[in-house]
Amino acid sequence: MKSAIFAKRKQAGQGMTEYIIIVALIAVAAIGVYSFFGKAIRGQMQGMTNEIAGTSATAGTANATAAATNANVEGAASKGMSNYNNDAARGK
């Protein structure tokens, strides 16, 4: 009888552990996506907020476009161990 109760507790603990691991992985992925697209997202949010407030969204749109252009340049750049020191010195 005691072993059956212990087995149920152990199984419930295992399910909770799996759930925590999945939630942690989703959180890490969300942080990565936000850090990668953060400037573009902030620029778009700035534009939407300005439009809702009744002002021009030009500055927010320009910020989002500049961030997207910078992301395209960085994405096309060659990355490797040969230029690691240069990137580290520039803070990338």
Residue pLDDT, tens place only, 4-30: 665 566 666 677 888 999 999 999 998
pLDDT over threshold 60, residue 1? no
Residue pLDDT, tens place only, 43-80: 888 888 888 888 888 888 888 888 888 877 877 777 77
Question: Which tokens belong to 54?
Answer: 């009744």
Q: Would you say the C-alpha torsion 15, 20, 26, 32 has a positive or negative sign?
A: negative
Cβ(44)–Cβ(60) under 8 Å? yes
Cβ(87)–Cβ(59) under 8 Å? no
